[in-house]
């Protein structure tokens, strides 16, 4: 089934300036009967200021209008374990170089296997290698070009969107591929939003440079609706995954971080390859265990406000034991909460689509101007998709963000020169918003952000990897608020005066509290801060990091030693071990 010609009347908000302290929008519009998106206020999207007076539409819901042709059938099931004969990355040949020293928290044992000792609370470094397109098992494919387009005078939004929609009407092949739309070199003025809301489509430019004779340059002009996203991969709305059926209790007394199996009261309603939600509710007992979230003067977190969820697929069932496709990034402790498993539907979630080889240049007045397109590329309501070789300039919030997104790869991108007021909810160059899970950012360049690499996605976001990226400017990369789990900052090159912090943010924003848990800074050369959360741990392992401490909580597990660390990259070591099994 498809839904087509879905027309919803568009409520154009007045072009007044949003309160810069509080407004959190992923808004998008495309002109001439193409899709329009406007995000409502999400209660989790609290700013760095206490004021709460956002601009929202009358309905309080995202708006979509125009012809979209989105698939509403079940998305293809990705290959959980690597296929026989899969290409092993070249770096795996030398990954076991012992270096001059090894960490006590993740190291090769005498059998040549990675070992992760647990502390007395059961904390350990988890496996981050499942992040990215198809769990990182393979690189995104190169789609054949099925249509080409040249720039026209005036607004190109409709011509690009129409071409994407036409590809969306094609029948996909056995791998779910429909094909790529190639934008020839040139300058494409875009006054709205381009949305890829169908499976198996790539929007591909001719290059991400600044030469219109060789590159494809999206000139994102005007500001209607206010602070829109220029390109969206996905549905562009929330509530994409829906629970189906009854919740079943997990019966283990303690399922540790990193686990890939657990026992349930009754497994009869589940089968192999079912998509499931694993929920750890934020009970009063758990809130007490984490000291109310770690706030000082701000209100404590409340029951039901910080439920931890993981979306996983069942790989096997043995009696009452359920095995899953990727690790859990938080403990499930029966003393603190009874966790449950429920079936999920991902009908309508966009899969196998991407954006490649483009430059997105947002037109602004410079300085503190905020009346312009706000985000260059958003992956919102998508899974097993990618953003590759993109340059994003002059965004107000993000060069690339993910939101309600699973197994996404962002590779070889540049996000620089943000424009706006340097304050809360601005300048998050690479940003994982709520329900972002198993996301891989690699080979990315960030400059001049407030938080170049950030999870703003609270407790529903986990398994987030920033790998071999560079950071420049006075940036504080971090888990921003409310218990993001399983973040890895691996081999980040600091070129400015920035830092990476996995710690308790206490009263920053509105009850931000503990921003990170079970997270790792590995082989970083900038200033690094890690604190130990109650019931969890955070880690710094590096040869050249500059150690920073902060009062209010115990220091996290920290090793900073001279000499070459082995392995140099935790992500690479974990990926190679898994692919070479």
What residue ranges do the domains of the chain occupy?
Answer: 133-237+350-449, 242-345
> φ and ψ at 558, to 5 degrees?
-130, 125
Mean pLDDT (the chain) is 88
- Which stretch of 90-94, 254-258, 417-421, 486-490 has the lowest confidence by average pLDDT? 90-94
pLDDT of residue 505: 96
What pLDDT is stored for residue 533 in this prediction?
A: 98
Rounded mean pLDDT, 467-491: 97
Report pLDDT digits (tens) over 480-534: 999 999 999 999 999 999 999 999 999 999 899 999 999 999 999 999 999 999 9
Cβ neighbour number for residue 101 with a 10 Å cutoff: 16
Q: Once rounded to an integer, what is the mean pLDDT over residues 74-92?
A: 74
* Helix or strand run (H / E) with residue 540: strand 538-542
Assign 72 a pLDDT band (cuts: 50, 70, 90).
Answer: very low
Supply the CATH classification number for the domain 133-237+350-449. 2.160.20.10
pLDDT band at 470 (very low <50, low <70, confident <90, very high): very high
Among 394, 498, 512, 408, CA closest to 451 = 498
Give the residues across from 403 on adjacent strands: 380
Residue 297 has pLDDT above 90, yes or no: yes
Average confidence (pLDDT) over 248-267:
98
pLDDT tens for residues 21-54?
Answer: 333 333 333 333 333 333 322 333 444 332 322 2
As beta bridge partners, residue 2 has 71
Mean pLDDT value across residues 116-135:
97
pLDDT attached to residue 247: 98
DSSP-assigned letter for residue 114: E
Q: Whole-angstrom Cα distance, residue 197 to residue 385?
A: 12
User: pLDDT value at position 399?
Assistant: 98
Task: Say whether pLDDT at 171 is over 90.
Answer: yes
Phi, psi of 456 (to 5 degrees): -100, 20
**What DSSP assignment string belongs to 68-90?**
--EE-SPPPPPPSSPPTTPPPPG
Per-residue pLDDT tens for 343-391? 999 999 999 999 999 999 999 999 999 999 999 999 999 999 999 999 9
Task: Give Cα separations from 76 to 128, 351, 389, 390, 544 (angstroms).
Answer: 23, 7, 25, 26, 43
pLDDT computed for residue 7 by the predictor: 26
pLDDT for 361: 98
* pLDDT at 249 > cutoff 90: yes
The pLDDT tens digits for 526-558 are 999 999 999 999 999 999 999 999 999 999 999
HSE, CB side, 13 Å, CA atoms: give it for residue 303. 5
Residue pair 435/466 in contact by the 8 Å Cβ criterion: no
341 close to 277: Cβ distance less than 8 angstroms: yes
The second-level CATH assignment, the architecture, of 242-345 is Beta Barrel (2.40)
Going through 163-282 in order, the beta strands assigned E by DSSP cover 179-183, 186-190, 194-196, 201-204, 216-220, 229-233, 242-249, 254-255, 261-263, 275-280
Select from 90, 67, 99 the least CA-distant residue to 167. 67
Per the CB < 8 A criterion, the answer to whether 183 and 358 are in contact is yes
Residue with tokens 């192999």: 272
pTM, whole model, 2 decimals? 0.89
Residue 354 backbone dihedrals phi, psi, to 5 degrees: -160, 170
């Amino acid at each position: 089934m498809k839904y087509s010609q879905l027309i919803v009347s568009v409520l154009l908000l007045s072009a007044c300036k949003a309160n810069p302290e509080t407004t959190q929008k992923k808004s998008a519009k495309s002109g001439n009967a193409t899709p329009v998106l406007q995000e409502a206020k999400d209660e989790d999207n609290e700013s760095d200021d206490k004021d709460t007076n956002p601009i929202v539409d009358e309905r309080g819901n995202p708006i979509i209008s125009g012809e979209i042709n989105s698939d509403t059938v079940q998305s293809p099931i990705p290959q959980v374990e690597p296929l026989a004969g899969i290409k092993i990355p070249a770096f795996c040949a030398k990954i076991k170089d012992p270096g001059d020293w090894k960490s006590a928290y993740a190291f090769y044992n005498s059998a040549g296997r990675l070992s992760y000792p647990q502390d007395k609370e059961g904390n350990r470094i988890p496996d981050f290698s499942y992040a990215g397109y198809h769990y990182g098992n393979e690189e995104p494919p190169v789609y054949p070009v099925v249509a080409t387009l040249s720039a026209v005078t005036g607004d190109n939004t409709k011509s690009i969107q129409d071409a994407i929609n036409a590809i969306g009407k094609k029948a996909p092949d056995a791998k779910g591929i429909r094909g790529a739309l190639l934008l020839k070199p040139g300058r494409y003025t875009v006054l709205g939003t381009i949305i890829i809301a169908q499976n198996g489509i790539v929007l591909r430019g001719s290059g991400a440079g600044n030469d219109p004779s060789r590159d494809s340059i999206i000139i994102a002009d005007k500001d209607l609706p206010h602070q829109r996203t220029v390109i969206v991969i996905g549905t562009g709305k929330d509530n994409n995954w829906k629970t189906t059926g009854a919740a079943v209790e997990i019966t283990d007394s303690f399922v540790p971080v990193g686990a890939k199996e657990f026992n349930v009261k009754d497994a009869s309603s589940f089968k192999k390859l079912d998509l499931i939600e694993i929920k750890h509710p934020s009970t009063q007992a758990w809130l007490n265990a984490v000291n109310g979230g770690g706030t000082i003067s701000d209100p404590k977190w409340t029951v039901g406000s910080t439920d931890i969820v993981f979306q996983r697929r069942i790989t096997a069932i043995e009696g009452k034991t359920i095995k899953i496709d990727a690790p859990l990034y938080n403990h499930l402790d029966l003393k603190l909460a009874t966790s449950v498993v429920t079936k999920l539907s991902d009908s309508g979630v966009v899969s196998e689509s991407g954006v490649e080889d483009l430059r997105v240049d947002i037109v602004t007045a410079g300085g503190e101007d905020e009346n312009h397109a706000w985000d260059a590329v958003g992956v919102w309501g998508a899974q097993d998709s990618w953003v590759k070789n993109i340059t994003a300039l002059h965004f107000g919030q993000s060069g690339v963000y993910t939101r309600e997104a699973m197994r996404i790869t962002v590779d070889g991108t540049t996000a620089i020169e943000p424009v706006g007021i340097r304050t809360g909810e601005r300048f998050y160059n690479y940003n994982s918003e709520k329900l972002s899970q198993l996301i891989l950012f690699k080979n990315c360049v960030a400059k001049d952000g407030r938080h170049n690499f950030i999870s703003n996605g609270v407790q529903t976001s986990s398994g987030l990897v920033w790998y071999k990226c560079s950071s420049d400017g006075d940036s504080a990369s971090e888990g921003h608020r409310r218990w993001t789990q399983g973040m890895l900052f691996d081999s980040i090159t600091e070129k400015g005066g920035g830092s990476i912090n996995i710690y308790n943010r206490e009263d920053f924003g509105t009850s931000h509290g503990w921003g990170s848990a079970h997270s790792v800074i590995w082989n970083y050369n900038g200033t690094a801060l890690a604190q130990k959360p109650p019931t969890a741990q955070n880690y710094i392992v590096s040869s050249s990091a500059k150690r920073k401490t902060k009062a209010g909580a115990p220091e996290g597990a920290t090793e900073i030693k001279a000499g070459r660390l082995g392995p140099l990259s935790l992500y690479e070591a974990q990926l190679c071990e898994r692919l070479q099994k």
